[in-house]
Amino acid sequence: MPVWWPRFIIKPRVRLSRPRFRMPARPPDIVIFGAMFLAVLFILGGNIYTLVKTPPAIAVDASSNPILIAPSIDVQLGLEGIVASSVIFIGTVGVGLIYLASKYVFQPGYATRLMILGAVLAGTAFLIISYLYGLKT
Protein backbone atom coordinates (compact mmCIF):
# COMPACT_ATOMS: atom_id res chain seq x y z
CA MET A 1 0.00 0.00 0.00
CA PRO A 2 1.14 3.52 -0.66
CA VAL A 3 2.20 5.56 2.31
CA TRP A 4 -0.42 8.24 1.87
CA TRP A 5 -3.32 5.70 1.90
CA PRO A 6 -5.30 5.93 5.19
CA ARG A 7 -5.35 2.70 7.21
CA PHE A 8 -9.10 2.76 8.05
CA ILE A 9 -10.03 2.56 4.33
CA ILE A 10 -9.56 -0.95 3.05
CA LYS A 11 -9.02 -1.47 -0.62
CA PRO A 12 -11.33 -4.30 -1.71
CA ARG A 13 -9.83 -7.25 -3.54
CA VAL A 14 -12.62 -8.16 -5.91
CA ARG A 15 -12.18 -10.17 -9.06
CA LEU A 16 -14.96 -9.56 -11.51
CA SER A 17 -15.74 -12.39 -13.85
CA ARG A 18 -17.46 -12.24 -17.18
CA PRO A 19 -21.18 -12.99 -17.13
CA ARG A 20 -22.08 -16.37 -18.58
CA PHE A 21 -25.03 -16.57 -20.87
CA ARG A 22 -26.84 -19.89 -20.80
CA MET A 23 -29.91 -21.29 -22.41
CA PRO A 24 -33.05 -20.72 -20.36
CA ALA A 25 -33.99 -23.55 -18.05
CA ARG A 26 -36.45 -26.16 -19.24
CA PRO A 27 -40.02 -25.65 -18.03
CA PRO A 28 -41.15 -27.90 -15.18
CA ASP A 29 -42.43 -31.35 -16.08
CA ILE A 30 -45.91 -30.58 -14.76
CA VAL A 31 -46.24 -27.67 -17.19
CA ILE A 32 -45.19 -29.84 -20.12
CA PHE A 33 -47.60 -32.59 -18.98
CA GLY A 34 -50.45 -30.09 -18.61
CA ALA A 35 -49.91 -28.67 -22.08
CA MET A 36 -49.75 -32.12 -23.64
CA PHE A 37 -52.83 -33.23 -21.69
CA LEU A 38 -54.86 -30.24 -22.86
CA ALA A 39 -53.73 -30.84 -26.45
CA VAL A 40 -54.84 -34.47 -26.28
CA LEU A 41 -58.21 -33.48 -24.80
CA PHE A 42 -58.63 -30.92 -27.57
CA ILE A 43 -57.96 -33.54 -30.23
CA LEU A 44 -60.06 -36.30 -28.60
CA GLY A 45 -63.01 -33.94 -28.25
CA GLY A 46 -63.14 -33.51 -32.02
CA ASN A 47 -62.32 -29.82 -31.87
CA ILE A 48 -59.97 -30.02 -34.87
CA TYR A 49 -63.01 -30.91 -36.99
CA THR A 50 -64.88 -28.00 -35.47
CA LEU A 51 -62.08 -25.59 -36.35
CA VAL A 52 -61.75 -26.85 -39.92
CA LYS A 53 -65.44 -27.24 -40.72
CA THR A 54 -66.69 -24.14 -38.80
CA PRO A 55 -70.18 -25.45 -38.00
CA PRO A 56 -72.64 -23.41 -35.97
CA ALA A 57 -72.35 -23.76 -32.19
CA ILE A 58 -76.09 -24.44 -31.81
CA ALA A 59 -78.49 -25.52 -34.54
CA VAL A 60 -82.30 -25.44 -34.70
CA ASP A 61 -84.77 -28.03 -35.87
CA ALA A 62 -87.88 -27.52 -38.04
CA SER A 63 -89.90 -26.05 -35.18
CA SER A 64 -87.03 -23.68 -34.25
CA ASN A 65 -86.08 -25.53 -31.06
CA PRO A 66 -82.35 -25.48 -30.29
CA ILE A 67 -80.40 -28.66 -30.99
CA LEU A 68 -77.25 -29.09 -28.94
CA ILE A 69 -76.28 -32.46 -30.44
CA ALA A 70 -76.54 -33.14 -34.15
CA PRO A 71 -78.42 -36.41 -34.79
CA SER A 72 -75.86 -37.69 -37.30
CA ILE A 73 -72.43 -39.21 -36.80
CA ASP A 74 -70.80 -37.35 -39.69
CA VAL A 75 -71.83 -33.90 -38.39
CA GLN A 76 -70.61 -32.18 -35.24
CA LEU A 77 -71.79 -28.92 -33.77
CA GLY A 78 -69.40 -26.54 -32.06
CA LEU A 79 -70.69 -27.23 -28.56
CA GLU A 80 -70.37 -31.00 -28.91
CA GLY A 81 -66.58 -30.90 -29.01
CA ILE A 82 -66.41 -28.77 -25.87
CA VAL A 83 -68.83 -31.06 -24.04
CA ALA A 84 -66.96 -34.18 -25.17
CA SER A 85 -63.61 -32.72 -24.05
CA SER A 86 -65.07 -31.83 -20.66
CA VAL A 87 -66.54 -35.28 -20.14
CA ILE A 88 -63.29 -36.97 -21.19
CA PHE A 89 -61.44 -34.72 -18.71
CA ILE A 90 -63.79 -35.80 -15.91
CA GLY A 91 -63.24 -39.46 -16.76
CA THR A 92 -59.47 -38.99 -16.83
CA VAL A 93 -59.54 -37.31 -13.43
CA GLY A 94 -61.52 -40.30 -12.14
CA VAL A 95 -58.96 -42.77 -13.46
CA GLY A 96 -56.20 -40.59 -12.00
CA LEU A 97 -57.88 -40.71 -8.58
CA ILE A 98 -58.05 -44.51 -8.76
CA TYR A 99 -54.32 -44.55 -9.52
CA LEU A 100 -53.62 -42.08 -6.70
CA ALA A 101 -55.43 -44.36 -4.25
CA SER A 102 -52.74 -47.00 -4.79
CA LYS A 103 -50.21 -44.69 -3.11
CA TYR A 104 -52.13 -44.68 0.18
CA VAL A 105 -51.76 -48.34 1.11
CA PHE A 106 -51.26 -47.57 4.78
CA GLN A 107 -54.31 -45.29 4.92
CA PRO A 108 -57.09 -47.62 3.76
CA GLY A 109 -59.95 -45.25 4.59
CA TYR A 110 -58.52 -42.45 2.48
CA ALA A 111 -57.60 -44.86 -0.31
CA THR A 112 -61.13 -46.28 -0.35
CA ARG A 113 -62.65 -42.79 -0.59
CA LEU A 114 -60.34 -41.91 -3.46
CA MET A 115 -61.20 -45.14 -5.28
CA ILE A 116 -64.94 -44.64 -4.83
CA LEU A 117 -64.77 -41.01 -6.01
CA GLY A 118 -62.59 -42.02 -8.98
CA ALA A 119 -64.93 -44.85 -9.93
CA VAL A 120 -67.96 -42.53 -9.70
CA LEU A 121 -66.28 -39.91 -11.90
CA ALA A 122 -65.05 -42.43 -14.48
CA GLY A 123 -68.38 -44.25 -14.53
CA THR A 124 -70.33 -41.02 -14.87
CA ALA A 125 -68.12 -39.92 -17.75
CA PHE A 126 -68.63 -43.27 -19.46
CA LEU A 127 -72.41 -43.06 -19.06
CA ILE A 128 -72.52 -39.47 -20.36
CA ILE A 129 -70.42 -40.34 -23.42
CA SER A 130 -72.60 -43.40 -24.06
CA TYR A 131 -75.73 -41.26 -23.77
CA LEU A 132 -74.32 -38.63 -26.15
CA TYR A 133 -73.36 -41.33 -28.64
CA GLY A 134 -76.87 -42.80 -28.36
CA LEU A 135 -78.35 -39.39 -29.18
CA LYS A 136 -76.15 -39.14 -32.27
CA THR A 137 -77.07 -42.59 -33.63
% the chain with pLDDT above 90: 39
117 vs 3, residue with greater confidence: 117
Helix axes 78-101, 108-136, angle to 10 degrees: 160
Residue with the bigger pLDDT between 83 and 57: it is 83
Instruction: Give the total residue count for the chain.
Output: 137
104 vs 118: CA distance, rounded Å: 14
Q: What is the DSSP letter of 102?
A: T
Averaged over 71-85, what is the pLDDT?
A: 83
pTM above 0.75, yes or no: no
- For the cut 60, the answer to whether the pLDDT of residue 108 exceeds it is yes
pLDDT of amino acid 2: 57
Would you state the pLDDT for residue 25? 82
- The helix/strand/coil state of 66 is strand
